[in-house]
């Protein structure tokens, strides 16, 4: 980042909250599947904070946090505690959030990322477990809004279904040096959480949320500049745009001789700008203290070892294997390995095609090309695709063997994608079986040569480019079904004769 005479360095740290995929909440047995539930129907005395109700830790949430910590190269604490983070807000029925402060479950890890052609190792300061808050809907003061009580001004509706959903908080060191690196980190983190089945990582649905700390400093300065917190980053795109905006804003402040003030900003997606939410003059005072209702956890190293041994192959390792074993180019390997379901689909297709490197490359080409194109056009994920790996391999086998040509193959795949019918039936229905019968094709060649004597004469006089045109005419004569290699050979032979 350069502006004027001084070059600036950008320093970014990210805080990510990811909802864990559990059936029940963090400290009670209420269902965690609240997305389609009417308000306040997944609530019990524990998560609505009735007096005397006691929380009990969900073991699976602890397990998933440890698995995420291991995948992020963290140290797993032997002794860990929950703590109360005290503040008053309508989304927090207890008046405190159960979180972790000292002694988090996971700490001191790292994640390797690549952005703008350069590799960077991003430190993970901590990954801890806490509970989500309730959901608030603020109502406008517009006249006629029936959700307002008469004369009471602005109102807020509170739904406690989300209160108590297990939440994994992952905090990086201030190691990111550009908005693009921040985006790359989030993409990678989301891939890993999904691979582990730890979180859906769905940012649109609020299952993964991001906050950033941003500062700038003149290149060469070791001391950090004043940091600004940016909230409300709800997509990869908004993370990048908000950080670019904020970095430019801070540079402009310094260039104008001002100083950056420590504040919390919110990203205003609609207007593409960051706006001040609150100043930090009265610093947060959460009065953390150990949660007296929850005895400490002593994490057994044998449990950690068991979870480590059961970790799946992660995206980077899988992409490297695809590149090494199947000789895929790095871009395709990364594309296929990015989502676990896609990687599984690719490997199953390649295996059904014989499992050799050439078979895998054929599968990779069709999946990253034609299948991804169809999925994008239909707006579906690989899990919803009606064409299973075996069905796709069946189609690709037919193309390889010359039963249909590649263009017909694409047409057939399109139909399979639409209808879920097997390749064989669609080929029959569309009459696409490639004609490899030499007699039938020779007749088509003869017919074309007889129809275009002028072009034949030109070719024989040395204008070789006419061959391609004649080839096209013969293919047309066979309605696209001719085996192209055979047609070319027959045509060459006939022209020489």
Partner 1 sequence: MALSLAEVEHIAELARLRLTEAEKAQFQEQLSAILEHAAVLQSIDVSAIPPTATVLPLHNVMRADEVRPGLSQAAVLSNAPDPYDGFFRVKTILEHE
Residues that bind partner 1 (CB under 8 A): 22-24, 28-31, 38-45, 47-48, 56-62, 81, 86-90, 137-139, 147, 149, 152-160, 277-278, 285, 287, 290, 292, 294-298
User: Rounded to an integer, what distance in angstroms lies between the CA atom of residue 445 and that of residue 492?
Assistant: 10
407-444 burial by CB neighbour count: b if 16+ within 10 A, else e? ebbbebbebbbeeeebbeebbeeeebebbbeeeebbeb
C-alpha 472, offset from chain centre: 43
Q: Which of 258, 259, 255 is nearest to 4 (CA)?
A: 255
Least separation in angstroms between residue 297's CB and partner 1 is 6
Would you say 151 or 220 has its CB closer to partner 1?
Answer: 151
**Cα 288–291–297 angle (5° rounding)?**
120
Which residue, 81 or 253, has its beta carbon nearer to partner 1? 81
- Write down the H helix ranges in 422-465: 423-430, 438-451, 453-460
User: In the complex, what is the shortest distance from the CB of residue 363 to partner 1, in angstroms, rounded to a whole number?
Assistant: 37
Report the alpha-carbon distance of residue 474 to residue 447 in Å, rounded. Answer: 8
**Cα angle, residue 283 at apex, residues 260 and 257 outer, rounded to 5°:** 10
Of 60 and 187, CB closest to partner 1: 60
Q: Which is nearer to partner 1, 160 or 350 (CB)?
A: 160
Q: Which is nearer to partner 1, 90 or 357 (CB)?
A: 90
CA neighbor of 82 nearest in space, from 92, 67, 96: 96
The residues that bridge with 137 in the sheet, in sequence order, are 157
Nearest distance, CB of residue 395 and partner 1, angstroms: 41
Q: How far is the CB of 259 from partner 1 (least distance, A)?
A: 23
Closer of 141 and 418 to partner 1 (Cβ): 141
**How many C-beta atoms surround the C-beta of residue 300 within 10 A?**
10
CB of 160 to partner 1, least distance (A): 7
Considering the complex, state which of residue 256 and residue 310 has its C-beta at the smaller distance from partner 1: 310
**In the complex, what is the shortest distance from the CB of residue 146 to partner 1, in angstroms, rounded to a whole number?**
9
Cβ-based nearer residue to partner 1, 38 or 462: 38
Question: Strand, helix or coil at 346?
Answer: helix
Per the listing, tokens 């896609």 go with 342
Angle among Cα 27, 32, 35 to the nearest 5 degrees reads 150
| Minimum CB distance to partner 1, residue 42 (Å) | 6
> How far is the C-alpha of 254 from the C-alpha of 7, rounded, in Å?
12
Distance between CA atoms of 432 and 436, rounded to whole angstroms?
Answer: 12
Residue 427, phi-psi category: left (phi > 0), alpha (psi -120 to 50), beta (remainder): alpha
Residue 307 CB, shortest distance to partner 1, in Å, is 15
**HSE-up of residue 176 (Cα within 13 Å, Cβ side):** 30
| Shortest Å, Cβ 60 to partner 1 | 4
Which residue is it, tokens 């001719």?
A: 482
The DSSP string of 260-307 is ---EEEEEETTTTEEEEEEESSS------EE-TTS--EE--HHHHHHH
Identity of the residue, 149 or 222, whose beta carbon is nearer to partner 1 in the bound complex: 149
Residue 94 three-state SS:
coil
Residue 320 CB, shortest distance to partner 1, in Å, is 34
Rg (CA), the chain: 30
Q: How far apart are CA 54 and CA 166, in angstroms?
A: 16
Task: Output the smallest distance, CB 86 to partner 1, in A.
Answer: 8
Burial label, 314 (beta-carbon count in 10 A; 0-12, 13-18, 19+) = middle
Comparing CB distances to partner 1, the nearer of 148 and 433 is 148
Looking at beta carbons only, is 144 or 497 nearer to partner 1?
144
**Minimal distance in Å, beta carbon 410 to partner 1?**
45
Pick between residue 11 and residue 30 the one whose CB is nearest to partner 1.
30
């Amino acid at each position: 980042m350069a502006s004027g005479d001084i070059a600036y360095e950008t320093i970014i740290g990210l805080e990510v909250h990811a909802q864990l995929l559990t059936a029940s909440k963090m400290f009670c047995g209420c269902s965690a599947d609240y997305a389609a539930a009417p308000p306040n129907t997944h609530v019990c005395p524990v998560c609505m904070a009735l007096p005397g109700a006691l929380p009990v830790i969900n073991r699976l949430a602890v397990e998933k946090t440890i698995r995420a910590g291991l995948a992020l190269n963290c140290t797993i604490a032997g002794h860990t505690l929950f703590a109360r983070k005290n503040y008053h807000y309508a989304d927090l029925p207890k008046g405190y959030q159960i979180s972790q402060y000292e002694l988090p479950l996971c700490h001191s890890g790292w994640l390797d990322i690549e952005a703008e052609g350069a590799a960077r190792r991003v430190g993970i300061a901590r990954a801890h477990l806490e509970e989500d808050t309730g959901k608030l809907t603020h109502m406008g003061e517009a006249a006629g809004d029936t959700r307002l009580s008469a004369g009471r001004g602005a109102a807020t509706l509170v739904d406690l279904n989300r209160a108590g959903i297990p939440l994994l908080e992952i905090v990086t060191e201030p190691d990111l040096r550009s908005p693009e690196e921040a985006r790359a980190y989030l993409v990678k983190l989301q891939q890993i959480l999904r691979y582990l089945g730890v979180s859906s990582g769905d940012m649109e649905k609020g299952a993964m949320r991001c906050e950033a700390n941003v500062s700038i400093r003149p290149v060469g300065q070791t001391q950090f500049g004043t940091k600004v917190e940016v909230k409300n980053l709800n997509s990869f795109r908004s993370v990048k745009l908000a950080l670019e905006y904020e970095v430019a804003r801070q540079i402009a402040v310094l260039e104008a001789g001002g100083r950056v003030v420590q504040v919390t900003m919110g990203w205003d997606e609609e207007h593409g700008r960051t706006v001040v939410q609150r100043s930090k003059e009265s610093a947060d005072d959460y009065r953390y203290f150990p949660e007296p209702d929850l005895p400490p956890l002593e994490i057994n190293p044998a449990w950690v070892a068991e979870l480590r041994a059961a970790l799946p192959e992660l995206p980077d390792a899988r992409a490297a294997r695809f590149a090494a074993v199947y000789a895929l180019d790095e871009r395709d390997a990364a594309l296929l390995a990015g989502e676990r379901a896609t990687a599984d689909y690719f490997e199953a297709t390649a295996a059904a095609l014989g499992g050799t490197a050439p078979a895998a490359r054929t599968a990779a080409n069709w999946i990253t090309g034609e299948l991804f194109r169809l999925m994008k056009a239909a707006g579906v994920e690989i899990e919803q695709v009606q064409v299973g790996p075996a069905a796709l391999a069946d189609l690709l086998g037919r193309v390889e063997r010359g039963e249909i040509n590649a263009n017909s193959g694409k047409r057939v795949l399109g139909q399979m994608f639409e209808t879920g019918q097997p390749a064989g039936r669609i080929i029959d229905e569309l009459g696409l079986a490639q004609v490899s019968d030499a007699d039938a094709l020779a007749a088509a060649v003869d017919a074309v040569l007889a129809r275009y004597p002028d072009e034949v004469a030109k070719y024989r006089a040395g204008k070789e480019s006419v061959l391609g045109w004649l080839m096209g005419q013969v293919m047309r004569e066979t309605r696209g079904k001719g085996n192209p290699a055979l047609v070319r050979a027959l045509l060459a032979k006939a022209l020489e004769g």
